[in-house]
Chains A and B, each alone.
Chain A
């Protein structure tokens, strides 16, 4: 079955330190991968995507993600965390389904940046 996994329910990091939120995937064919963020009491916002090309993709708010085909991973990273980055982060993959496409979301990782 095609799926995406986020192994950590919560990640804690000190402000100013680098952060990593992990995501692994299992899909047939070339993966289209995404990261979304959900701030408290707000809707989901698109952060970045990998479709093809460079393995390191840059997105909004200083976030980036590294696509690793051999490890089937797409970890989200940021060199220096801010308290305002505290939110719920979702990894997603686009898969073929019934002649069209759909998006499968991971279980989410709560990022807590400590001042």
Chain B
């Protein structure tokens, strides 16, 4: 069964360092998303991406964050200068047609900023 895969599963980084979280969406999906979940809290939307551009972003997704689809298969989330409060689980998701179809979530990347 096709699935969304994320790497790495866990990343530890020092405050101020750049991190790139990687995702391989399901191959025929056209819409891509990043969500984050701070430990013990709800899942929060960060950004949606369609047709090689951001379609919507939340207030959390500030200038420190960027997304890219560098090679037609991977979908990445970059955090330029990590802060302690960026520590969270980051989930990638993809869907065939955006709001008309279900999004499928990856297993998540746990980011720990020390």
A binds B: no
Q: Which residues of A contact B (CB under 8 A)?
A: none
